[in-house]
């Protein structure tokens, strides 16, 4: 069904850019970039999927059933996303808040063309119907000086607006704290939207700039016709590799410093921050519980708890939760039993999602959902859509959202500062510093 051809190339960073630019000719594009990040679970340096042969687009109703059927029947690579609002297919919930972006709630496609970068190797994995284009595509991308046409009418002076203002944010956090004191929940992720209307952006240049200042391991460029995701996500939601599941939730954020001594102090402060550690451990417990629904009994472990990793913009506290599953377990069922990810909801999960829906002022949509892929043999890997710019080109609407975990010890002022820290990279990229 597919033909694979491998080439050796040099100057891989330059060619990543050419590859992304070349992909813009297609209606469906997913580009995943690990930014040279390496750990035990890294599968590639870069992966591009373009040009749908088949696709699935749907709202939340029966979405996981439809995805399960599509994945099982296709028996091929499929790439796409799960929006946060698929929660409504899993639980008796709804999403009634304002939606300025209007992305489909689930979208997956079977690409005709997949190009993977691994070290200095480039592997073309094409459906047989387009396999005769491999050599020509390789020459265009990797041997010619491929030129991308810049968007000439991009908005020069982008004005970012807040969906809610500071005082309203404080009031909503206080309401969430009241729920915590009553025992309704003990943690919830509360998010807010920043947006710009009547705005046009150069999507490739915007993504490239965001990625250059962030360099995160789960960076993503997604294009679905006139809708775009430009993501500098540092977080893995869930990966299946054989009969192993890996989840790496993030809770705990600290700013960086250009002074190495001060930067080391900030790492130490985050490592020893009781509130941040408590947030992380709460979500680890939630993830362990979610994975146990699919896992073999007694197989859920936490090989790494509250470890601090440093990225270009921030330090992050990350834990790793691992579980084993039966080889016959359906991959879509695994995702359904763990979605949405605990780091973006709270605990107990359903109660937290109900309160989130009532207090937040926007429909999350793809934000705090997941982008990734299924392999032909039923493995998968998905990120968490955070630190991301979302863009509806037809509506000229640009949006980015940020949030923080609210626990009993949360102080509204500090939570607001954390949100501004997380928003910094996206705002700088859009406003041109």
Q: Domains along the chain?
A: 2-149+158-431 (3.60.120.10)
Tell me the pLDDT band of 209, cut-offs 50, 70 and 90. very high
CA–CA gap between residue 66 and residue 320 (Å, rounded): 30
Q: What is the average per-residue pLDDT within 374-378?
A: 97
Q: What's the whole-number average pLDDT of the chain?
A: 95
- Least confident piece of the model among 5-14, 178-187, 321-330: 5-14
Q: Out of 28, 235, 276, 360, which one is annotated catalytic?
A: 235
Tell me the pLDDT band of 357, cut-offs 50, 70 and 90. very high
User: What does each C-alpha distance from 431 to 196, 232, 278, 395 come to in angstroms?
Assistant: 11, 17, 35, 19
CB atoms within 10 A of CB 275: 15
- Residue 161 falls in the annotated catalytic set: no
Residue 373 confidence (pLDDT) above 90: yes
Buried b (16+ CB within 10 A) or exposed e, 113-131: bbbbbeeeebebbbbeeeb
Task: Please tell me what DSSP assigns to residue 83.
Answer: -
- Residue 235 falls in the annotated catalytic set: yes
Tell me the pLDDT band of 249, cut-offs 50, 70 and 90. very high
How high is the pLDDT of residue 433? 59
CA–CA gap between residue 288 and residue 320 (Å, rounded): 10
Residue 382 confidence (pLDDT) above 80: yes
What pTM does this model have?
0.96
Planar angle of CA 276, 279, 285, nearest 5 degrees: 140
Q: What is the average per-residue pLDDT within 327-337?
A: 96
pLDDT single digits (tens) 181-197: 999 999 999 999 999 99
CA–CA gap between residue 164 and residue 172 (Å, rounded): 10
Please report the sign of the dihedral spanned by the C-alpha atoms of residue 65, residue 291, residue 222, residue 54: negative
Q: Out of 116, 172, 240, 251, which one is annotated catalytic?
A: 251
How high is the pLDDT of residue 10? 84
pLDDT single digits (tens) 148-157: 666 778 998 9
More confidently predicted of 182 and 10: 182
CA–CA gap between residue 264 and residue 315 (Å, rounded): 10
How high is the pLDDT of residue 153? 85
pLDDT single digits (tens) 196-205: 999 999 999 9
Tell me the pLDDT band of 145, cut-offs 50, 70 and 90. low
CA–CA gap between residue 368 and residue 384 (Å, rounded): 6
Three-state DSSP class for residue 373: strand
Residue with tokens 């050796």: 8
Residue 144 confidence (pLDDT) above 90: no
Alpha helices (H) along 293-347:
331-336
- For residue 123, give both structure tokens: 């592997």
CA–CA gap between residue 385 and residue 28 (Å, rounded): 18
CB atoms within 10 A of CB 261: 7
Buried b (16+ CB within 10 A) or exposed e, 337-357: bbbbbbbbbbbbbbbbbbbbb
CA–CA gap between residue 63 and residue 314 (Å, rounded): 35
- For residue 372, give both structure tokens: 């990734």
Query: Would you state the torsion angle of the CA atoms of residues 202, 25, 125, 63, taken in this order, to the nearest 10 degrees?
Result: 70
């Amino acid at each position: 069904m597919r033909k694979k051809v491998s080439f050796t190339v040099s100057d891989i960073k330059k060619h990543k850019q050419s590859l992304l630019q070349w992909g813009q000719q297609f209606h469906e594009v997913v580009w995943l970039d690990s930014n040279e990040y390496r750990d035990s679970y890294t599968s590639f340096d870069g992966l591009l999927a373009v040009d749908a042969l088949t696709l699935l687009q749907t709202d939340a109703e029966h979405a996981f059933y439809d995805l399960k059927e599509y994945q099982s029947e296709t028996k091929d690579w499929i790439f796409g996303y799960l929006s946060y609002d698929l929660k409504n297919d899993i639980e008796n919930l709804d999403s009634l808040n304002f939606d300025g972006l209007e992305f489909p709630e689930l979208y997956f496609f079977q690409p005709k063309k997949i190009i993977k970068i691994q070290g200095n190797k480039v592997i073309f994995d094409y459906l047989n119907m387009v396999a005769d284009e491999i050599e020509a595509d390789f020459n265009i991308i990797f041997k010619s000086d491929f030129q991308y046409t810049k968007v000439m009418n991009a908005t020069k002076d982008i004005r970012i607006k807040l969906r809610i203002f500071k005082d309203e944010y404080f009031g909503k956090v206080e309401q969430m704290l009241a729920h915590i004191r009553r025992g309704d929940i003990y943690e919830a992720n509360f998010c807010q939207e920043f947006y710009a209307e009547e705005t046009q952006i150069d999507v490739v240049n915007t993504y490239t700039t965001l990625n250059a200042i962030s360099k995160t391991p789960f960076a993503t460029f997604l294009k679905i016709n006139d809708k775009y995701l430009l993501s500098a996500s540092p977080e893995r939601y869930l990966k299946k590799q054989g009969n192993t599941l890996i989840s790496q939730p993030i809770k705990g954020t600290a700013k960086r410093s250009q002074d190495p001594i001060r930067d080391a102090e900030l790492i130490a402060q985050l490592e020893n921050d009781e509130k941040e550690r408590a947030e992380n451990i709460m979500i680890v417990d939630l993830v362990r519980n979610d994975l146990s629904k699919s896992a073999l009994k007694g197989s859920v472990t936490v090989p790494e708890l509250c470890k601090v990793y440093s990225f270009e913009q921030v330090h992050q506290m990350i834990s790793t939760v691992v579980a084993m599953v039966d080889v016959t377990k359906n991959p879509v069922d695994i995702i359904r039993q763990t979605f949405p990810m605990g780091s973006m909801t709270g605990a107990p999960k359903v109660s937290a999602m109900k309160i989130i829906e009532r207090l937040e002022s926007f429909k999350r949509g793809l934000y705090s959902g997941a982008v990734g892929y299924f392999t032909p043999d039923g493995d998968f890997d998905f990120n968490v859509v955070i630190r991301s710019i979302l863009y509806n080109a037809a509506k000229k609407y640009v949006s980015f959202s940020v949030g923080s975990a609210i626990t009993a010890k949360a102080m509204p002022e500090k939570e607001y500062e954390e949100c501004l820290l997380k928003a910094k990279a996206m705002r700088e990229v859009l406003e041109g510093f």
